[in-house]
Chain A
Amino acid sequence: MTQSPQAPSGADLPRLPVTLSVNGETHELTIDPRVTLLDTLREHLHLTGTKKGCDHGQCGACTVLLDGQRVLSCLTLAVMHDGQSVTTVEGLGTPDHLHPLQDAFVRHDGYQCGYCTPGQLCSSVGTLDEIARGVPSHVTADLDAVTFSAEELRERLSGNICRCAAYPNIIAAVTEVHAAGDGA
């Protein structure tokens, strides 16, 4: 049996320019077009808060906000996002000035090992915004009246796996922040 070469030739690829605004700071990069948005953040901009759990869109650990909407940064290439704005977990808040959701995650123990946490947080920010904008989900009963519920949260956050299984605590944290009206 033979395990054969799978990629096209290893010929060097041209690097391409891309300008990204990350957490409000503009970065002009010249980058290998194969570099994902995730690896751009982690390996090129040294923003390692965004995590690589699977690198192919199955775990949610790499979730960031791209122009305000949540995306899996492992499934998109940096060069596709010239001129766009990215918010990562580092852009939500810092240890001394936590975002209300970050603060609620600490108080509700909405994590254990912490590796999925940046993705859960960015996904939660995106989710609260989607509900506020009336974007329905699989469990929305009335497509014209999207309302917040724990069931909606569980459905919408199901792309963010937590193997430590802080799920009930995450739902409690996000619910509290929603009730206080400061999840944006």
Chain B
Amino acid sequence: MKFEQASPPNPIDQERVVTRPFTRIEGPLKVSGQAPYAYEYGLPEAPTYGFVLGAGIAHGRVTRIDTTQAEAAPGVLLVLTHENMPAQARSDTPVPQQREASPQLSGPEIRHYHQAVAFVVAETFEQARAAANLIEVEYEVTPGQFTLADTVDSGKEPKDAVDSVVGDFESAFADAAATVDLTFTTPDQSQAPMEPHATIAQWDGDQLTVHTAHQVVHWVRRGLALTLNVPQKDVRVVAAFIGGGFGTKLLFFSDAVLSAAAARLLGRPVKTTLHRPLIFNNTSHRAATIQRVRLGADPDGTLHAVGHDTWTGNLPGGDSEPACEQTKYLYGGEHRQIRTRQSELDLPPGASMRAPGEAVGMLALEGAMDELAEKLGLDPVELRLRNDVQFDPEKGPKRPFSSRRLAAALRTGAKAFGWDDRPRAPRERQDGEWYVGYGVASAFRTNLVMPSGATVRLNPGGTLTVETQMTDIGTGSYTVLAQVAAEMLGLDLNQVEVKLGDSDFPQASGSGGSWGANSSSAGVYAACDELRRDLAQKAGYQSANAVFRGGKVWQGAECTELSELAGKGGVEATARMTYGDLTEQFMQAGFGAHFVEVGVNAHTGEVRVRRALSVVAAGRILNPVTARSQCLGGMTMGIGSALMEALHVDHDLGLFVNHDLGEYHVPVHADIPDLDVLFLDELDDQSSPLRAKGVGELGISGVGAAVANAVYNASGVRVRDFPITLDKILAGWDD
């Protein structure tokens, strides 16, 4: 099935099951510890345990590696290094890939700190860990470039974030009545999902099965097969439960590659989890940015010049952190200059983390809007309303937004939050020893769609089974897909079983870029659509007139039980949803508005978030329970990005020094008050038959800026060097 024109009315529009606040169908398994994650599968034979040793330098080469003691240690079965690693495919880049070959232990060169230099397999975890510490490695260290600020002149236009230049920005900016010209910096950040990257690999002859923590099953299947030089059909991937991903599990790392290679050599299953202190430098992170935002407006706030430059870095061949992207679409203005420049760094690999681009780009753009509003003496909400635009500002009215309720989100949020009651000037309001401030920011995230397939089977007895490679990384896929199938076939939710995350099932979108719920639901929709036609035909009805309701298919007053049509063998259909060019014809994005109240301690500069509200317009909300939780997660990670999250670079040694959860600070219970989320009614006819858009990343995009703007409103200090820690506020008060 191909989605290539605005969706006509369809059975989802009944909203009998979809849009209802069902709790997670897999919930009882998760809360009782019965849901198996990658490392937890029982095996027919005793497993062996892998342990990865990471490099102790950031840049150079291994000159000698002595594994003698490790190999002689009790229980040790195998020690792999670049000297004895079985043949693998080559890669042009040291950055692990989503779906291309990503070799490990491929040579003596060290390209980043904690890159795998050895892999020990032993009978027990304790033996493997102890033996890894017996390996002696000698390195030749060569100078590396670890400082983004020193590389900005060498940056090049990346292929994943092309320039958007319209009109004559420099003249318009020079002529503008009111301008801001501001530089922001955002640090490297870590996805830090609670489940470490983990894999169990086992071979049966030439057939490899990997249970692994990954967001997109067919990507890791392809990438692993290419890496190991085996046909994809010989690789089965299972990822039924994943303990969070936030982008880092879009790639595959040493746990997967080395477990698979070692299991083949040993003829035994190998299970490996990356230990937490390794993850921050060994896997991926969100790269730091330097951003310059220049805005030029009329006295009434109308923007004429919109400039945003981002500098970011990565290892050669890595993606950019495209922090300018939202600036291409969020506000009008006829003169535009939006550019990303990427330089080469020898830090660990940068890659996707929740809302690549927007999550940190909005910190800059929405901070600049707040400063412009202050300069103009305008309400920051009003400034945003005056620059709302219903089409892609670069392409013009010929490319409208498919749906855009930014203005409604700002107005609804302002009213619900009590924005009119905000302090009008910094340090105007005090509550005990706390200065109180309010902040606002827009929310924006591009809507992406991906091809996705599923099999649906009407079982004898009339229940339905859905099978798809789709993953559930906490996003609610199990529940949402059950709702979609139940809606389509006229069943109750408890009559639908959903099986996910197995490469034996039809290929699916996987989870990433907020495309998961909408895209995988569309795949289930397509399969159900086909099954409906087959069943109507079996019942002798015109499929166009058939109505599925109450476990029956109806034509007028006539009906047939689905259990009767299922017969003894059941009836199944497999289909796939693909897409035409509606994302080209229409700019598709989710919108919203974030409102935050903070307290800044008058003595210590400590910032506490007191309350926060996100208003979200993301098309049809398929399940308000799981969608709200996605927003809570985004808001919290946004608060983290504003106030605490930062990987600190050792600029001499080239590593992230705070590589554990004690020193890489993420928000904990005590940091997060009760949070509010409001969903606006919206149906996006151009996105899919579900009329839904992405939610999970919209929730983070802009939150941090609302926090920063509130900090200014409370304290009078503008901190543009994220995160906003108390030392920076105290320094601002000293000035």
Contact = CB atoms under 8 A, between A and B. Distances in A.
A117 interface: yes
Contacts of B275: 55
A82 B660 CA distance: 31
A63 to B, nearest CB: 12
Given A12-B74, A89-B32, A155-B670, A5 B660 contact: no
B628 A109 contact: yes
B31 A5 contact: no
B133 A6 contact: yes
Interface stretch (A38-46, A65-73, A128-136, A140-148): A38-46
A43 B46 CA distance: 10
A116 interface: yes
B637 interface: yes
Contact of B244 (A2, A93, A115): A115
A63 B33 CA distance: 12
Contacts of A163: 192-194, 244, 246, 633, 637, 666
A118 B276 contact: no
Contact of A102 (B32, B125, B626): B32
B669 A171 contact: yes
Nearest to A104: B31
Contacts of B675: 168
Interface string A150-178: 10011101111111111111110000000
B625 A59 contact: no
Contacts of B635: 165
Interface stretch (B22-30, B301-309, B489-497, B584-592): B22-30
A2 B672 contact: no
A94 B16 CA distance: 30
B629 A109 contact: yes
B72 A43 contact: no
Nearest to A49: B33
Contact of B661 (A32, A52, A54, A95): A54
Contacts of A88: 33
Contacts of A114: 26, 30-31, 35, 241, 243, 474
Interface string B97-125: 00000000000000000000000000011
B181 interface: no
B618 interface: no
B672 A165 contact: yes
Interface residues of A, number: 74
B137 A168 contact: no
B136 to A, nearest CB: 6
Contact of A164 (B31, B73, B629, B660): B629
Contacts of A165: 632-633, 635-637, 667, 672
A115 B243 contact: yes
Contacts of B637: 163, 165
A19 interface: no
Contacts of A46: 42
A59 B661 contact: yes
A10 B32 CA distance: 38
Contact of B137 (A3, A7, A118, A170): A3
Nearest to B117: A3
B207 interface: no
A113 B127 CA distance: 31
Interface string B652-673: 0000000011100011111011
A106 B27 contact: yes
B133 A5 contact: yes
B34 interface: yes
Interface in A46-90: 46-56, 58-59, 61, 88-90
Contacts of B30: 111, 114, 117
Interface string B217-257: 00000000000000000000000011110100000000000
A54 B660 contact: yes
B31 A116 contact: no
Nearest to B676: A168
Contact of B670 (A43, A117, A158): A158
A106 B37 contact: no
Nearest to A32: B126
B267 interface: no
A98 interface: yes
Given A154-B670, A165-B636, 12 more contacts: A32-B127, A47-B33, A48-B40, A52-B196, A54-B276, A61-B194, A95-B34, A106-B27, A112-B629, A165-B672, A168-B675, A171-B674
Interface of B: 23-24, 26-37, 39-40, 42, 55-57, 69-70, 72-76, 124-127, 130-131, 133-139, 141, 192-196, 241-244, 246, 273, 275-277, 473-476, 625-626, 628-630, 632-633, 635-637, 660-662, 666-670, 672-675
8 residue pairs, one from A and one from B, having the closest CB atoms: A49-B33, A115-B243, A10-B73, A113-B474, A112-B474, A114-B30, A165-B636, A95-B28
Interface of A: 1-7, 10-13, 32, 34-35, 39, 42-43, 46-56, 58-59, 61, 88-90, 92-96, 98, 102-103, 105-107, 109, 111-118, 121, 150, 153-155, 157-171
23 contacts: A5-B133, A13-B74, A34-B126, A48-B36, A49-B34, A56-B660, A58-B660, A58-B662, A59-B276, A98-B28, A106-B24, A109-B23, A109-B628, A112-B475, A113-B194, A113-B241, A117-B31, A118-B33, A121-B31, A163-B633, A166-B632, A167-B669, A169-B632
